[in-house]
Amino acid sequence: MAQELRPLNRRVVALVYDNLCSFEFGCAAEVFGLPRPEVGPDWYSFATASVDPGPIRAMGGLQVQASGGLEALQGAGTVIVPGWKGPDVLPSPELVTALRAAHAGGARLVTICSGVFVLAAAGLLDGRRATTHWRYAEILRDCYPRIEVDPNVLYVDEGQILTSAGSAAGLDLCLHLVRRDFGARVANQVARRLVIAPHRDGGQAQFIERPLPQTAGGRLSQLIAELQEDLRDAPSIRDLASRAAMSERTFIRRFQEATGVAPGAWLVAARVDRARDLLETTDLSIEQVAAESGFGAATTLRHHFRQRLGLSPATYRDRFGQAGFCRPAA
């Protein structure tokens, strides 16, 4: 029997506090606070909750007037902590109580960068995996040893609690939430509006794209673009070097300088990215996806998918394809 999808609680509340981290707050406001008529009437509603009495000062010489106080967390579907005053600043008992109540009520709790210290102090991350900006990782680990700190990722999704690394990683996490709630197509639309890639390489299998290198230049850059255009071919190193008008040794060295990996490893990664895109956006069979992405056989596709992403193509489609997300109630 198919699992019944729960209606999405679209109310998103971002905390604001004195000395607010403007960029981190902006990530949340940009993704969840702007109207998106192209998505339809079921987009998020966005509100702010003040932690401190106003007026709230924000980085960059700004003042912020929140739409409510901590009572705004009641009934929220998602609560965002966009940075924090500092890793050594404990949240007030009132804020801790409000966050614990929101969590108990089913709200998702999301942190960007140093915001993780608020949930850590509230005891909501004990026994969980979490991340933060790399320069705070050791502090988080030392102060809260019951948290499994992973400093090598863009974000961590623990289901109801999600944490992101440094400031810009907040955008990656926000897009991940959109993908969870509305699917890949809508998340990609939002990413295009932001003029950013829908996925970004963060050191783990976060189902991310490897962008076209911008430093290659000349024939090598053109060759990489051609390879991405049609990944079904299986050229040898000799063929690629000839097309780039280089010796094989020079081609391998230049390619690795431009992309960070050897040509063979880059091709596999690009094919996985292409397969992932097809799984997200089409209803092609696994065999057809394998052919279109250059793997040829479904068994080869499954091998590389499991090796790089830790799951099968079918499971990936169920999780991130257009049909594999929680749709809002009609």
What is the domain-level CATH number for residue 274? 1.10.10.60
Q: How many domains does the chain have?
A: 2
pLDDT digits (tens, 9 = 90+) for 49-84: 999 987 889 988 888 889 899 999 999 999 999 999
Among 194, 229, 257, the domain-final residue is 194
- Is the residue at 50 inside a domain? yes
Note whether 231 and 103 are same-domain residues.
no
Phi and psi at residue 299, to the nearest 5°: -65, -40
Determine the structural domain holding residue 314 and report its residue range: 218-320
- Is the residue at 209 inside a domain? no
Give the residue from 45, 107, 37 showing the smallest Cα distance to 73. 107
Note whether 107 and 53 are same-domain residues.
yes
Note whether 72 and 122 are same-domain residues.
yes
- pTM listed for this prediction: 0.63
β-strand partners of 262: none
- Is the residue at 15 inside a domain? yes
Residue 113 · residue 133 · CB < 8 Å = yes
Note whether 151 and 43 are same-domain residues.
yes
- Is the residue at 1 inside a domain? no
Note whether 162 and 247 are same-domain residues.
no
Note whether 178 and 271 are same-domain residues.
no
Enumerate residue ranges in the chain where pLDDT < 50. Answer: 1-5, 202-216, 323-330
Note whether 21 and 167 are same-domain residues.
yes
Among 133, 162, 194, the domain-final residue is 194
- Is the residue at 207 inside a domain? no
pLDDT of residue 218: 66
- Is the residue at 93 inside a domain? yes
Note whether 40 and 159 are same-domain residues.
yes
- Is the residue at 124 inside a domain? yes
Note whether 60 and 119 are same-domain residues.
yes
pLDDT of residue 6: 52
Query: What CATH number is attached to the domain comprising 20?
Result: 3.40.50.880
Note whether 43 and 160 are same-domain residues.
yes
Among 178, 194, 210, the domain-final residue is 194
pLDDT of residue 116: 97
Note whether 179 and 223 are same-domain residues.
no
Asked if omega into 93 is within 30° of 0 (cis), the reply is no
Note whether 53 and 104 are same-domain residues.
yes
Longest dimension (CA), the chain: 67
- Output the DSSP codes for 252-266: HHHHHHHHSS-HHHH
Residue with tokens 């008008």: 245
**Helix or strand run (H / E) with residue 64:** strand 62-64
Eight-state DSSP code of residue 152: T
Residue 11 · residue 44 · CB < 8 Å = yes
- Is the residue at 287 inside a domain? yes
